[in-house]
Chains A and B, each alone.
Chain A
Amino acid sequence: MLNHFSKIQTISLPLSREEDWKVSLPNKVKGLDEGLVVLNCRDWLLTYRDFQKIEALCGTKGLQIEIIISTRTETIVSASSLGYQAKLSLNNNQKKPTNSEIDSNNNHNDLPLLFHRGTIRSGENLDSEGDILLLGDVNPGAKISAVGNILIWGKLRGNAHAGKLGDDQAKIIALQLRPLQLRISQAIARGPEEKPQAGFAEEAILESGQIVIKPANPNLLRAHTAQNVFIS
């Protein structure tokens, strides 16, 4: 996963909960040379305040955090709120997440499904290396992006980018699709002006290079990745 960062040093927080990262981190930092560093937080739940402390500690050694990796969305959100580039990773040696059934049935591709519950607020980013299922709203000023599809059980009022690495089949589905801006693969569109019809889920897809919004088609949903998400 980190191959392309090979020249950059990595700090990994402890695997086991027995070891307190706050205790072991100063020693890890001491052993590094000045420069960029990847911070792998594993499944530790870190707050904004924790990141400020880590930042200060890294500063003493002239280390600059290049990217923060975590298996927990809460940690990702805290990191992004401080302006860091943050990536969610789904680790093999981590115990299966609660959405594991969804994930293992999802043989459309082997991209991970990021499941997040809660509102994404102005200034926050949620990004996934696979699909995203969000239970909550994306507010104006917030951004949600995914390599795969974006499914929002809530209102999309911010910016969304599905298929961000160039997947033209990616779609964005929301209970209310009123984004400021939509992107699918390379295409960009401004959100529609008119008020949404209440009670109909909508989807945005790419049709001959143009983003179109239509009522979400439940059969279409089943035929694609969302199949197992909506069944249970």
Chain B
Amino acid sequence: MTKSTRIILICSGKGGVGKTTLTANLGIALAKRGVNTAVLDADFGLRNLDLLLGLENRIVYTAQEVLDESCRLEQALVKHKQEPNLSLLPAGNPRMLDWLTPDDMQRIVALLSEQFDYVLIDCPAGVEDGFKNAVAAAKEAIVVTNPEVSAVRDADRVIGLLNTHGVQPVQLVLNRVRPKMMASQEMLSVDDVTDILALPLLGLVLEDEQVIVSTNRGEPLTLSSNNSPAARCYSNIAGRLQGEQIPMIDPSKEGSGVRAKIRRLMQTKIF
């Protein structure tokens, strides 16, 4: 009971930036490292964490029934077949939003804390009730954003709210990084983003087609020994969360082909 469970909210402000994908991949990556991990779908409106984890057809009960006390937590938890260190607590139906309170969220997370080392909460987009419920239960947070002005603006708003809620530490994951576009300054650079958001950078995730392939299969990239660019990024994030010193990838050294190499060579000469 005196366990110090890490309760991490994964949030963004803007929708579609990659929260659920990060939650699923990080959950698997942590579980692989032998950490007892629960992922909680707090996005009752647009639940799809179950889908990404390939667990959709194994859901019997949800957080809703646990709160109603019509089932025990153990009955609602869905264990991942290949990575039994990972369990999903599914969201209830969308109407649950109408009556769910911050206290309910705290109750659920307290229950999960009794048996898990990590609880990852997949937060809904926005800063409305869904966010407020989720934030009430969180100790720390990962803010996910893309190198786009609108996503960064919304992330900034969320960081302000996390601060007023006393959530600490708050770290940043910059998702969908495209080295080419960054190099040609068609996209905000890593520095541009961290300069505005002023948060410690937990990791970069490269834009990677494999993410979409794996989403459709219901098998997070980190599950297989797949060594696609994004898979490496997610694993690094898991390692850093556990305190390992893993160097950040350098987008200007990523990207393939002769052209990128020449560009890099030229850059180092000119500057």
A124-B160, A137-B198, A141-B157 given. 7 additional CB < 8 A pairs? A48-B161, A121-B159, A121-B163, A122-B157, A140-B196, A142-B156, A157-B196
Roughly how many angstroms separate A84 CA and B157 CA in the complex, as a whole number? 16
B-contacting residues, A156-202, CB 8 Å: 157
A47 within 8 A of B: yes
B245 within 8 A of A: no
Is chain B's binding surface mostly helix, strand, loop or mixed? helix
Are B156 and A121 neighbours in the complex by a CB distance under 8 Å? yes
Is chain A's binding surface mostly helix, strand, loop or mixed? loop
Closest to B196 in A: A139
Contact partners of B157 in chain A: CB under 8 A: 121-123, 141
- Given A81-B160, A124-B160, A47 and B166 contact (CB-CB distance below 8 Å): yes
Closest to A81 in B: B164
**A-B CB proximity, top 10 nearest:** A121-B160, A122-B156, A48-B164, A122-B157, A123-B157, A78-B164, A121-B156, A124-B160, A139-B156, A81-B164
Are B164 and A47 neighbours in the complex by a CB distance under 8 Å? yes
A39 within 8 A of B: no
Roughly how many angstroms separate A17 CA and B156 CA in the complex, as a whole number? 34
Q: How many residues of A sit at the interface, in one of the four size bands?
A: 10 to 19
Contact partners of B63 in chain A: CB under 8 A: none
- Given A122-B160, A137-B198, A140-B196, A48 and B165 contact (CB-CB distance below 8 Å): yes
- Given A49-B136, A119-B198, A157-B196, A140 and B156 contact (CB-CB distance below 8 Å): yes
Are A141 and B153 neighbours in the complex by a CB distance under 8 Å? yes
Beta-carbon contacts of A119-141 to B below 8 Å, as 1s and 0s? 10111100000000000010111
B254 within 8 A of A: no
Contact partners of B198 in chain A: CB under 8 A: 119, 137
Contact partners of B196 in chain A: CB under 8 A: 137, 139-140, 157
